[in-house]
Chains A and B, each alone.
Chain A
Amino acid sequence: MKRHAADHQGARDAAALLPIAATVLLLPPFILIFAAPAFVFGVPLIVAYVFGVWAVVIFAAWLVARRHAEASDGPGAAQETVPTSVDQP
């Protein structure tokens, strides 16, 4: 039960962190690091970077969603109504 609760907390933290990480990676100033006239196998570096980050964000979102699905379908789902409500940002 304790491990399960910790899992759920972790999933919530990950869900909150993911958009922040995506924002930092895809907006200036961070993106400026990759905005250079360089090429990866003939493809402009910036194109490779943006699509790469995009794909990673989608993969991470998939992982987070899966964890949430496990947490809310798993045992103890009934008890979770109170804590989820209280932690609303």
Chain B
Amino acid sequence: MLHANLVVLVCLAYVAILFGVAFAGDRRARKDPTGWLSSPLVYTLSISIYCSSWTFFGSVGSAAKNGLEFLTIYLGPTIVFAGWWLFLRKLVTVGRVHHTTSIADFISARFGKSPALGALITILAVVAITPYIALQLKALTASFQVVTYPAGAVVAASQRLEPDFLVAFWLAAGLCLFSIIFGVRNIDVNERHHGVIAAIAVEALVKLVAFLAVGLWVYLTLSGTPEEMFRNAPVSLMHPEQSFGARWFALCFLSGAAVICLPRQFQVTVVENSSEEQIRTASWMFPLYLILINLFVIPIAMAGLNYLPAGSDPDLFVLTLPMTGGQETIGLLAFLGGFSSATSMVIVSSIALSTMISNHIVMPLAMRFSMVPTSGGQNTRNFILAARRASIVFIVFLGFIYFWVSRTSDALASIGLISFCGLIQPLPSLIAGLYWHRATHRGAIAGLAAGFLIWAYTLFLPSFEGAFLMSADVIENGPFGLGWLVPHALFGLDVFDPLVHALFWSMTVNTGLLIAVSLLREPTPLTRFQATLFIDIFRRQTETELGVIRRTARVHELRQIADRILGPVEAVHLFNRHGAERAVIASDELISLVEQRLAANVGAASARSLLSRVVTSETIGVEELKRLAGEAEQIRAYSAELERKSRQVEATAAELAQANERLREVDTQKDEFLSQVSHEVRTPMASIRSFSDILLNNRDMHETEKLRFLGIIQDESLRLTRLLDGILDVNQLESGKPAWETGPFDPDAAIDQAMESCEALARAARVTLKRSRRARRAVILGDRDRFAQVFINLVSNAIKYNTDPRPMVSVASSLRKGVFEARVIDNGPCIPQSERERIFAKFARGPAPRQSGAGLGLAISRQIIERFGGQIYCAETGKTGVAFVVRLQAQSHRT
């Protein structure tokens, strides 16, 4: 055992350190608001108050009893934080921009600054959180008693200990003191509490280190091999098939919602947030904290089952294992860890709830019954501070009384999840408030109230097992024996366990009523205005916002309110900056600014009521409101347009790139063409030069020899001329401006003419020309001579390249379905498939020329036919030789 005095001394020393940290934190934050106290690390550590003593002690107990189920409490938050981009980011941004003070303030502000809604959520939170605070006090007391029990910790944990309420009382008093000193020093803008947050961060580290220390010690000394470790594991761990039903799903949902909706979580995650970087880092660092603190839960639970006597309370394994093993230092550290987790939870919860109570219950009531002191600058501020301090004492001691009253029952053990289920009732309103313009405050109130009542009826009241308000008979048989109203099986739905059952009904009815009632009536203009501000948070605009609400107020009256709530220093600062000292009537801008500042202190609803006393006329411009909503639409449309434009630009750029590619290709072709032309011109020029050289140098040459040479020179010059003519032709055709005479003509006649021109050539080469089938009655529009030129080219090619012993060339034409087709067929050598396209290129020649040509004929022919809009290609004949096919669109039949 540890001596009680030693434990008390250690606790006091620890608390003194926390005081020091909180004090230093506050001072430092005043000097440098953006220092390390606003760092993502401190922010994340403060969020880890999620792990209360229920986690610290209860996880191990749950693992020993129910296997993996305890993990759901951490998997839900992991998913929510890993998915920060979808929801948390918006929630946190809205809270930061609108200086939200609590979850009640957030929802009431969103739904037209409704005071009723704020009060309802506050009452719900107080009711649901009191047992939870009682649970923390119980854990603190029990752990203190166990580590100081004279007969040893294990004996203490194996029997039912009567709680020591003296310890509990002093703990509660100490918690109140700490919360009041650091949580309610001032009613600052934004309700940020840097000192408390610094202390909470230290406590978060202590509980993590303590749990890891116990876990490591257990793992290294007691666990042994995995087989040994799991030898006494609960059935649900070794045979987990049954563990993953509706309850697993419901618990994940419950914990995911709780990490947003619990007042203390909302306080540290949303209210204390000061930048997006914080939430971005917390998105992975908080789940990391959770997995670390859960790493050794299973080893500790298994070691407890293996080594401690049967009947030991598994909820206290964390303490009893090291104490039994003689490791009193580790035991003390574990006690400090539990102490940290319980105290930090109670401190932040009580601060968050005190803000809610003072802003949403005390202030509205005090204003209604004119109890707010109006005289003197500091009085109102002191009144609010007093209300908050009293609220903290009220909440903590409500928990204490609850603990005292319920000491004999086991009702507290399961209260954690029951409390969660009540506290997440604002979730539907929260989500609708951030994404649904149409949601109204009536819908939110209806949904919340119904969810709250169903939770109380099906889960909270039955948890007293007949001791409070609801008798055991009602729990068993329903009120007045009405079977369909049995609290654990509404309408006969008895397939779920009570928690899942209550969660299902409360959430379903809550959401259903929220939607249904919202659709019944139009939202009020103020609700609509607030909806726009919240939902379109990522669109920043100020001018139109200010134009929506028009109010009249006297400056000196406004000044009085600001003096009373904000304090004279800030009020002077606020009014001077706007040069409103000399004006009589305040501008809309100034009124909005004052309201904003007031809302950051006393909540949006109370700020509005305060202002309404000095504002003489208020109108909400419906037109401006419409324009505001329209603006959001416009921006959406504008951005869509922008996206479309950028896609167009991209497409144009791609086209340009393609065109550029084509230009490069053409450029290379041009270069190739030039080099080919020079090569082609060079050959005849060379022979002309050499023969003329011979003629010049050998004057005494024989006459016949001279004539032969001259003949060659002439031939070569003719070839040169033909070549140049061809090049000119190609160029003309390519540049697209040839002398082109358009007119209808008979293609057959043109072909006949072309064949006549080739007859001399054919006779010289002993080639038989044959004109077979004719199209008749076809008319083609275009240049007749050009058309004939194509066939002269084709037929003369067919003659020139024909190597058959009985060479023959035939031309056939036909007209089918408006398409004129002509074929020039020879029985010469075949052209291989691979060559058939190449021969249409410039300077390409057939494989074995009998007479060399310029290699331009087919290229020119193709260009002419393409200008006609037709095709020319080389095809199989079925036998030897090739067929050149020309296909053109004919004009019409000749009648």
Enumerate chain A interface residues (CB-CB to B < 8 A): 12, 15-16, 18-20, 22-23, 26-28, 31-32, 35-37, 39, 41-44, 46-47, 50-51, 54-55, 57-62, 64-65, 68-69, 72, 81-86, 88-89
Enumerate chain B interface residues (CB-CB to A < 8 A): 68, 71, 75, 78-86, 90, 225-227, 229-230, 233, 237-241, 243-245, 248-249, 252, 276-277, 280-281, 283-284, 287-288, 291, 295, 298, 435, 536, 538-540, 635-636, 638-639
A52 CB to closest chain B CB (Å) equals 11
Contact B238 A61, beta carbon cutoff 8 Å: no
Contact A82 B248, beta carbon cutoff 8 Å: no
Q: Bound complex: CA of A73 vs CA of B539, how far in Å?
A: 19
Which of B79, B288, B298, B635 has most A Cβ within 10 Å?
B79
Contact A86 B635, beta carbon cutoff 8 Å: yes
Question: Which residues of the partner chain B approach A83 to less than 8 Å between Cβ atoms?
Answer: 639
Question: Which residues of the partner chain B approach A43 to less than 8 Å between Cβ atoms?
Answer: 226, 230
Contact A16 B241, beta carbon cutoff 8 Å: no
Contact A58 B249, beta carbon cutoff 8 Å: no
Q: Apart from A19-B83, A47-B68, what are 6 other A-B pairs with CB-CB below 8 Å?
A: A16-B83, A26-B252, A37-B239, A46-B237, A82-B635, A83-B639
Contact B283 A65, beta carbon cutoff 8 Å: yes
Question: Which residues of the partner chain A approach B75 to less than 8 Å between Cβ atoms?
Answer: 26, 50, 54
Question: Which residues of the partner chain A approach B229 to less than 8 Å between Cβ atoms?
Answer: 42
Query: What's the count of A-B pairs with C-beta under 8 Å?
Result: 129
Which of A16, A19, A37, A72 has most B Cβ within 10 Å?
A19
Question: Which residues of the partner chain B approach A86 to less than 8 Å between Cβ atoms?
Answer: 538-539, 635-636, 639
Question: Which residues of the partner chain B approach A16 to less than 8 Å between Cβ atoms?
Answer: 83, 85-86
Contact B85 A15, beta carbon cutoff 8 Å: yes
A-B contact pairs, 6 of them (CB 8 A): A15-B86, A23-B79, A28-B249, A59-B284, A85-B539, A89-B86
Contact A47 B298, beta carbon cutoff 8 Å: yes
Question: Which residues of the partner chain B approach A68 to less than 8 Å between Cβ atoms?
Answer: 85, 280
Question: Which residues of the partner chain B approach A55 to less than 8 Å between Cβ atoms?
Answer: 291
Out of A26, A46, A58, name the residue touching B288 (CB < 8 Å).
A58
Which of B233, B238, B240 has most A Cβ within 10 Å?
B240
Contact B238 A28, beta carbon cutoff 8 Å: no
Contact A27 B237, beta carbon cutoff 8 Å: no
Report if A81-B227 is in contact (Cβ < 8 Å); known contacts: A46-B68, A47-B237. no
Contact B280 A65, beta carbon cutoff 8 Å: yes
A23 CB to closest chain B CB (Å) equals 6
Out of B81, B243, B540, name the residue touching A35 (CB < 8 Å).
B243
Contact A61 B283, beta carbon cutoff 8 Å: yes
Contact B68 A50, beta carbon cutoff 8 Å: yes
Contact A28 B244, beta carbon cutoff 8 Å: yes
Contact B639 A54, beta carbon cutoff 8 Å: no
Query: Please, which residue of chain A has its CB at the minimum distance from the CB of B85?
Result: A15
Query: Please, which residue of chain A has its CB at the minimum distance from the CB of B643?
Result: A83
The 7 nearest A-B residue pairs measured at CB: A19-B83, A42-B226, A85-B538, A15-B85, A61-B284, A62-B284, A61-B82
B289 CB to closest chain A CB (Å) equals 10
Question: Which residues of the partner chain A approach B86 to less than 8 Å between Cβ atoms?
Answer: 15-16, 19, 89
A68 CB to closest chain B CB (Å) equals 6
Contact A65 B291, beta carbon cutoff 8 Å: no
Contact B79 A26, beta carbon cutoff 8 Å: yes
Q: Bound complex: CA of A89 vs CA of B540, how far in Å?
A: 17
Q: Bound complex: CA of A65 vs CA of B68, how far in Å?
A: 29
Out of B248, B295, B435, B638, name the residue touching A27 (CB < 8 Å).
B248
Contact B244 A32, beta carbon cutoff 8 Å: yes
Report if A22-B79 is in contact (Cβ < 8 Å); known contacts: A35-B244, A65-B284. yes
Contact A42 B230, beta carbon cutoff 8 Å: yes
Contact A61 B90, beta carbon cutoff 8 Å: no
Question: Which residues of the partner chain A approach B435 to less than 8 Å between Cβ atoms?
Answer: 89
Q: Bound complex: CA of A71 vs CA of B295, how far in Å?
A: 33
Report if A37-B83 is in contact (Cβ < 8 Å); known contacts: A28-B245, A57-B78. no
Q: Bound complex: CA of A83 vs CA of B225, how far in Å?
A: 55
Query: Please, which residue of chain A has its CB at the minimum distance from the CB of B535?
Result: A88
B772 CB to closest chain A CB (Å) equals 63
Q: Bound complex: CA of A6 vs CA of B237, how far in Å?
A: 45
Query: Please, which residue of chain A has its CB at the minimum distance from the CB of B288?
Result: A58
Contact A27 B90, beta carbon cutoff 8 Å: no
Query: Please, which residue of chain A has its CB at the minimum distance from the CB of B291?
Result: A54
Contact B81 A42, beta carbon cutoff 8 Å: no
Contact B639 A82, beta carbon cutoff 8 Å: yes
Query: Please, which residue of chain B has its CB at the minimum distance from the CB of A17?
Result: B83
Q: Bound complex: CA of A12 vs CA of B83, how far in Å?
A: 11
Q: Bound complex: CA of A72 vs CA of B279, how far in Å?
A: 14
Query: Please, which residue of chain A has its CB at the minimum distance from the CB of B244?
Result: A28
Contact A22 B280, beta carbon cutoff 8 Å: no
A10 CB to closest chain B CB (Å) equals 13
B722 CB to closest chain A CB (Å) equals 55
Contact A85 B536, beta carbon cutoff 8 Å: yes
Question: Which residues of the partner chain A approach B68 to less than 8 Å between Cβ atoms?
Answer: 46-47, 50
Q: Bound complex: CA of A61 vs CA of B244, how far in Å?
A: 25
Report if A35-B639 is in contact (Cβ < 8 Å); known contacts: A12-B85, A19-B83. no
Query: Please, which residue of chain B has its CB at the minimum distance from the CB of A54?
Result: B291
Question: Which residues of the partner chain A approach B298 to less than 8 Å between Cβ atoms?
Answer: 47
Out of B78, B226, B287, name the residue touching A41 (CB < 8 Å).
B226
B251 CB to closest chain A CB (Å) equals 10
Q: Bound complex: CA of A50 vs CA of B248, how far in Å?
A: 13
Question: Which residues of the partner chain A approach B84 to less than 8 Å between Cβ atoms?
Answer: 15
Out of B83, B227, B252, name the residue touching A42 (CB < 8 Å).
B227
B276 CB to closest chain A CB (Å) equals 8
B432 CB to closest chain A CB (Å) equals 14
Contact A58 B238, beta carbon cutoff 8 Å: no
Query: Please, which residue of chain B has its CB at the minimum distance from the CB of A42?
Result: B226
Q: Bound complex: CA of A59 vs CA of B284, how far in Å?
A: 7
Contact A44 B636, beta carbon cutoff 8 Å: no
Query: Please, which residue of chain B has its CB at the minimum distance from the CB of A34?
Result: B240
Question: Which residues of the partner chain B approach A39 to less than 8 Å between Cβ atoms?
Answer: 226
A69 CB to closest chain B CB (Å) equals 6
Question: Which residues of the partner chain B approach A85 to less than 8 Å between Cβ atoms?
Answer: 536, 538-539, 635
Question: Which residues of the partner chain B approach A31 to less than 8 Å between Cβ atoms?
Answer: 244, 248
Question: Which residues of the partner chain A approach B243 to less than 8 Å between Cβ atoms?
Answer: 35, 46
Q: Bound complex: CA of A16 vs CA of B82, how far in Å?
A: 9
Contact A27 B249, beta carbon cutoff 8 Å: yes
Contact B79 A44, beta carbon cutoff 8 Å: no
Question: Which residues of the partner chain B approach A64 to less than 8 Å between Cβ atoms?
Answer: 82, 85, 283-284
Out of B226, B248, B276, name the residue touching A28 (CB < 8 Å).
B248
B305 CB to closest chain A CB (Å) equals 14
Contact B248 A58, beta carbon cutoff 8 Å: no
Query: Please, which residue of chain B has its CB at the minimum distance from the CB of A69?
Result: B280
Out of A42, A61, A65, A84, name the residue touching B225 (CB < 8 Å).
A42
Out of A32, A44, A61, name the residue touching B81 (CB < 8 Å).
A61
Question: Which residues of the partner chain B approach A22 to less than 8 Å between Cβ atoms?
Answer: 78-79, 82-83
Contact B83 A15, beta carbon cutoff 8 Å: yes
Report if A58-B78 is in contact (Cβ < 8 Å); known contacts: A27-B248, A31-B244. yes
Question: Which residues of the partner chain A approach B295 to less than 8 Å between Cβ atoms?
Answer: 51
Question: Which residues of the partner chain B approach A72 to less than 8 Å between Cβ atoms?
Answer: 276
Query: Please, which residue of chain B has its CB at the minimum distance from the CB of A27?
Result: B249
Question: Which residues of the partner chain B approach A88 to less than 8 Å between Cβ atoms?
Answer: 90, 538
Contact A58 B635, beta carbon cutoff 8 Å: no
Q: Bound complex: CA of A69 vs CA of B638, how far in Å?
A: 27
Query: Please, which residue of chain B has its CB at the minimum distance from the CB of A14?
Result: B85
Q: Bound complex: CA of A16 vs CA of B75, how far in Å?
A: 17
Q: Bound complex: CA of A57 vs CA of B825, how far in Å?
A: 74
B641 CB to closest chain A CB (Å) equals 11
Q: Bound complex: CA of A68 vs CA of B277, how far in Å?
A: 10
Question: Which residues of the partner chain A approach B248 to less than 8 Å between Cβ atoms?
Answer: 27-28, 31
A43 CB to closest chain B CB (Å) equals 5
Question: Which residues of the partner chain B approach A32 to less than 8 Å between Cβ atoms?
Answer: 241, 244
Query: Please, which residue of chain A has its CB at the minimum distance from the CB of B650?
Result: A2
Query: Please, which residue of chain A has its CB at the minimum distance from the CB of B277?
Result: A69
Q: Bound complex: CA of A72 vs CA of B280, how far in Å?
A: 11
Contact B78 A35, beta carbon cutoff 8 Å: no
B126 CB to closest chain A CB (Å) equals 32
Report if A57-B287 is in contact (Cβ < 8 Å); known contacts: A42-B230, A86-B639. yes
